[in-house]
Structure 1
């Protein structure tokens, strides 16, 4: 039976230490050059050579929670600090590539939707329609305080905030300008058609935006929409809005359950199951032989900073593990919702003894890791494809090494098996993924097309 190729994105962050903490110390690890445009342009060219669909930039706007009572460990480890704004370098990547999609994470807390919509439209023009937005709510207390809030808002309330934020953006991208509004008619001296450019007059709980959008419609109008939350509220938000969802599940069967559940929600939201594609996060250690791959994995593990891995998870679950030695049993730590979920996850992988904080760090480093030859990696990816996963978000240990290895050794095997594309489809990033430059009419943003155009009678008068 024929199958569609998997899509591939490179999961990166404009920082030194993103997911695998401590590995920036390895020889050949170039991610300490994250301030350099050349660093990112070089990586983008490698990805495009491998026919990757996206370079996918994660981002945060604050520190993770304290570890051992302070943020000292984050600074010492370079754990997402310093961290630069990925949107600033997107145009340089666009200028030096022709087909690679550029996905940017931006939280609803960090920028007013009017200015954000303007920036994304500008980038979509500059890239000829290759911009994507990873929609996130802020989950960091420090991030909230950086923007003047005393505390982090409750989880589901953050998604209500996101609902209004995307609503404003949709109105600007899809409804403020009708097709054909930009005339640039030199003979008549008329640049734009006033009758086709509209104020949106949004008035909501958090935002009041008059409009009109200041950027003429870009090739995609609305950027390709990513989302990364897997909670019930996150799945519902993705079902309504997202075109691609970044997931991290322990194995193909768990992925199948999440994908099937979310696709049911997509249909309930009035969309088609295929309107949402799922990208599983995986990290690859490649060797010419199984023995070499295992040796490389062991070398990688030697360089992982276990305290750094635990610190990262501490911030994610809101529990400070930093005041305890690594050999502390997890059962000895205060019983909170965050710890209960972590203990359950670790106990599924550790048997015969009580799981410890050290196990937590080790498992974080091994989570979603695939070790093997290009052929055995291809076998594993076929299992993920069979489970309903549409794409892989490739986590790195080193930049550009992790991606160069994958492109040079794994991609050719995947192409031979029909699991990776040999050439890019023409057009915008959305056209490459879905066959159309614009969102389909069944997407909620489409309801704003023509919504602000004054009604006209049969004679054409307003």
Structure 2
């Protein structure tokens, strides 16, 4: 029986400090070059050389201003500020690669679905079907105020809005243009057949849209759909919509439980539980020997900022940890931030203190970290896959670009020798590569129901 193939995305952001904070100060780190196009095209070339499935680009709208009730540390350590638009990076990276996928984070709370549908279809065309969308609803009060709202919409209400947003998008991407609508027939002077292009009409609780999708069908039509919510409402949303789910795990038992919840949610939505691929955030520090890897870890720790990591986490929870003494227990506070983060910190566990948080964020971030030789790293990665049901990892950067280059040069050959990592890319779109099926949403996905337009929507 063939071994399960480990899927790997690089996890990055159009900024200096992404997950492992403070490492921008390391003398070999080049993250301050993030405003250079060469920085991104060189990264894309490296990731394709390493046969990564994709580059997953995070994003936020707003700033981290909960810790210390301001942005002083956020600016000093560049904690995802400044941050550029992730979508504008893709065309250049796609031009220098043939297979690498691009997972793009975009917040649906602040962008009308009609225009967003066009942006994603355009990128799917330009990349020949290598686009994924990481669906987020936002959690920062600073973002809501910057976008003209008095406060961030309530957690579950954001998901209600997201459900309707997806309904609009499915109709634009899947319904508005029929297969075969485009003829591009010069002799007959018919580019698109009018009877095969349909106006969608949607009047709902949050959105009213009447119009034709502005783009002809792209290779995937609907981009591959990522989602990262792990609250009960977030899991219900993922079960209905997500094709890939991104989770954060600190131990195998909790991760195995979370993977099972994702698959159960998909089954409740009438889908095959294994139609959803689950990725976990992971940091890897690799070297030729364990001793060299430990030395490298110690070197990185001298430059990392645990306080910056805690400040980042403060905005994830909506709790100002700067107000606590080092050993004072962190108390539950009802916030409108990431619900699962608040519950994990103050409900499921009640012994967290700032001192413990700083220890967890010693490398500037809180993702599980593997340190060792290629053999040790590969052993650990395989054990996480085998013991939790994960499908793959979103690999964070530490010192850039060397952390990804170390992984590509040292760990990838070891994984390939074990038969758990591809030795070449499969042809086709990102969806075809990930799921070894078609380019389009599978028939049991809720979005596939929009493919046959009802008579009421015809011109």
TM over 0.5: yes
1:330 Cα deviation from its structure 2 partner: 3.0
Query: How do residues 205-220 of structure 1 correspond to structure 2 at under 5 angstroms?
Result: 205-220=205-220
- Residue number in structure 2 paired with 1:224: 224
Instruction: Compute the displacement of 1:377 (Å).
Output: 0.7
Structure 2 Cα separation of the partners of residues 130 and 158 of structure 1: 28
C-alpha displacement at 1:204, in angstroms? Answer: 1.0
Structure 1 residue 346: Cα displacement: 7.5
Match of 1:336 among 322, 333, 337: 333
Match of 1:160 in 2: 160
Could you say if the C-alpha distance between residues 199 and 339 of structure 1 is closer, same or farther in structure 2, counting changes exceeding 3 Å? closer
Tell me, in whole angstroms, the C-alpha distance in 1 between the residues paired with 2:14 and 2:309.
18
What is residue 459 of structure 1 aligned with on the other side?
Answer: none
Q: Tell me the equivalent position of 2:91.
A: 91
Separation of aligned partners in 2, 1:319 and 1:233 = 21
- The offset of 1:329, in angstroms, is 1.0
1:28-427 to 2 correspondences below 5 Å: 28-324=28-324, 328-331=326-329, 333=330, 335-336=332-333, 341-342=344-345, 356-364=353-361, 365=363, 367-386=367-386, 387-427=388-428
| TM-score of the superposed pair, with normalisation by structure 2 | 0.94
Change beyond 3 A, Cα 1:232–1:340? closer
Deviation string 1:44-94 (CA, Å, 9 cap, x unpaired) is 100000100010000000012322121111111111110000101111111
SS at match of 1:51: coil
Match of 2:211, SS state, is coil
Using a 3 Å threshold, how does the CA distance of structure 1 residues 252 and 355 change in structure 2: closer, same or farther?
closer
Instruction: Identify the range of structure 1 (220-229 vs 364-373) with the bigger mean alpha-carbon deviation.
Output: 364-373
CA distance, structure 1, for counterparts of residue 445 and residue 126 of structure 2: 25
Q: What is the TM-score normalised by the length of structure 1? A: 0.93
Selected match of 1:436 from 422, 431, 438: 438
Describe the SS at the equivalent of 1:68.
helix
Q: Structure 1 pair 70/273, CA: closer, same or farther in 2 (3 Å)?
A: same
8 Å contact kept, 1:132–1:224: yes
Could you tell me whether the CA contact under 8 Å between 2:159 and 2:234 is conserved in 1? Answer: yes
Contact 2:249/2:368 (CA < 8 Å) preserved in 1? Answer: yes
Alpha-carbon contact 2:29-2:400 (below 8 Å) kept: yes
8 Å Cα contact 1:252/1:383 also seen in 2:
no
Aligned partners of 2:381 and 2:290: how far apart in 1?
16
> CA offsets per residue over residues 292-320 of structure 1, 9 Å max, x none?
21121121112111221111111111111
Q: State the alpha-carbon separation in 2 of the partners of residues 198 and 207 from structure 1.
A: 19
Counterparts of 1:141 and 1:455, CA distance in 2: 39
Query: Which sections of structure 2, spanning at least 5 residues, go unmatched?
Result: 335-340
Q: Distance in 2 between matches of 1:41 and 1:127?
A: 14
RMSD of the TM alignment (CA)? 1.8
C-alpha displacement of 1:125: 0.3
